[in-house]
Chains A and B, each alone.
Chain A
Amino acid sequence: MLQNEQEYIRILKHRLEGTLPKDELDDIISDYSEHFSIGKANGRTDEELWRSLGSPEDVAREIRVMHLVKKAEDVRSCKNIFHAVIATLGLGLFNLVFVLVPFIMFLLLLFVIFLLGTVITLAGLVGVVFSLLQILGLSTFSVWLSPVAGVFLSIGMISTGLLIVIGNYYLARFCYHGCIRYLKWNISVITGTESEA
């Protein structure tokens, strides 16, 4: 494979097309072209410049990850954070342990808390219905010691469940920010820009 400027730019462009917006992609391509032009003006060959920049595949991967993390930071959504995490996995196999496992654990935690809140809320709703049926004298639905108390306790359960769900929402937001920061730190460690950051 020829290690010249055209090939480098072609690979870089091919790898980043579809991920980055066109103007951002043009800026990056322009930067790298300029880097080659300046280098060659200083008497360096294409091969030397290629080696100094690193392989275009690796460069494209890093740019893509940084772009997706930035996108997830700017626009909060499950899709964006998921894409950012998946892209980060491509930086190294060990990220399966250091990124994917904690990410899945956080997801599970949030899901379990959400499920808990939902179940308590639904149980409260069922409790209210059962209390009312018990007050109406239907013995089959007689689960409360005191049906009147059951109405209030059920309402308490509903509001507790809703509080858990709302709390889970804020926890999810907190985890989202934490995840972005962790991904940034992870990228900086892998790409060796930790000290610069």
Chain B
Amino acid sequence: MSQKRQDDDPLACFVCNLNLSGLTMTKVILWLIAITIVSFAIGFCTMALSGDFPLGAEQKAGPFKNTVLSSPNTTTFPLDGASSGEIRLLLGAGDLTVQGGARDGQLMEAEVFSELPEMQPDYTHVLNNSVMTVSMTETGHKKKEWVVAHLPESWANTWDVRASDEIPVAFTVMVGAGDCELILGTANLTSLTVNNGIGDTMIDLAGYHGGRYDATIHNGVGDLTLRIPRESNTRILMHHGVGDITTSGIVQTDETYMTASFNPALPVSEIVIKQGVGSIQLEAV
């Protein structure tokens, strides 16, 4: 009875006809080689027939689409005659690098490396009383983009921002989770506000020769490195939770740290650090 049922079942007959017991390792290998050759041949022929092959000069990622990672999206904002600037950066999750060295006549140049087109940030720029304000905000903060912002692909989100060295600039940098690196030795700061939720923060002001500034640095969980010029007149007020503090070339008085040549009678650059968990490294170089 059961034999009859099996004979009636076409799938069972097909499996029986495969004769898997006669499948030796040599046959398996030969089959795999054949499948490999045929699959790649059909794959590349299909690409050729659909016009995707041979690859153009701009296509360097083989049969894969160029991800935004290999071709960053660059946006520039000209000075437009502004005498000072304000740059506000809001990144939910990802890595951020901010440095000076924008080309002449540009307030900001932003390169965004993200695998998702939906993760391209929103930009606004306003010129008001010769102050140019540029905002760069991750779209993941918008309600409709919430799902995209929480896909794993959105984690590989990297912003590389270059700011003008020509005019004084106020920076406001907010990062939810990710590493944050600010190399602003060539910039001219009016103020600096950095807020990093989770991740390491590195602020390098080595070689800074701009005007005095006030800075506030909030670092939730992660290590913080702050590098300031040895000859600058800088005072650092420290509020830290858990973690070691190491200093180099800095004089400490209670919770206040100063450069060795600190003179309160001169214009003072004041930095307030509020650190939750993580080590802090202060260097005067």
Contact = CB atoms under 8 A, between A and B. Distances in A.
Interface of A: 140, 142-146, 148-153, 155-156, 159-160, 162-163, 166
B156 interface: no
Contacts of B67: 143
A149 B151 contact: no
Interface residues of B, number: 25
Most A C-beta atoms less than 10 A away, residue of B46, B67, B116: B46
25 contacts: A140-B151, A140-B153, A143-B64, A144-B65, A145-B47, A145-B59, A145-B63, A146-B47, A149-B47, A149-B50, A149-B52, A149-B63, A152-B42, A152-B46, A153-B39, A153-B40, A153-B63, A156-B36, A156-B40, A156-B43, A160-B36, A162-B32, A163-B33, A166-B25, A166-B32
A155 B64 contact: no
Contacts of A145: 47, 50, 52, 59, 63-65
B29 to A, nearest CB: 6
Interface of B: 25, 28-29, 32-33, 35-36, 39-40, 42-44, 46-47, 50, 52, 59, 63-65, 67, 116, 148, 151, 153
Contact of A156 (B35, B59, B153): B35
A145 B25 CA distance: 35
Contacts of B148: 140
Contacts of A153: 39-40, 43-44, 63
A170 B180 CA distance: 48
B65 A142 contact: yes
Contacts of B59: 145
B116 A152 contact: no
Contact of A150 (B28, B40, B43): B43
Contacts of B151: 140
Chain A interface SS verdict (over half): helix
Nearest to B66: A145
A146 B39 contact: no
A148 B46 CA distance: 7
Contacts of A159: 32-33, 35-36, 39
B69 to A, nearest CB: 12
A144 B63 contact: yes
A33 to B, nearest CB: 49
B63 A150 contact: yes
Contacts, number: 68
Contacts of B36: 156, 159-160, 163
A135 B75 CA distance: 32
A94 B66 CA distance: 53
A155 B43 CA distance: 9
A160 B36 CA distance: 6
B136 to A, nearest CB: 23
B50 A146 contact: yes
Nearest to A163: B32
A147 to B, nearest CB: 10
Nearest to B48: A149
Nearest to B45: A149
B65 A149 contact: no
B122 to A, nearest CB: 20
Given A140-B116, A146-B47, A152 B40 contact: yes
Contacts of B50: 145-146, 148-149
A146 B28 CA distance: 29
Q: Which A-B residue pairs are the 4 nearest by beta carbons?
A: A156-B39, A152-B43, A153-B43, A149-B46
Nearest to B29: A166
Contacts of A148: 46, 50
A145 B153 CA distance: 19
A93 B164 CA distance: 64
Contacts of A146: 46-47, 50, 52, 63
Given A142-B65, A143-B64, A155-B39, A149 B33 contact: no
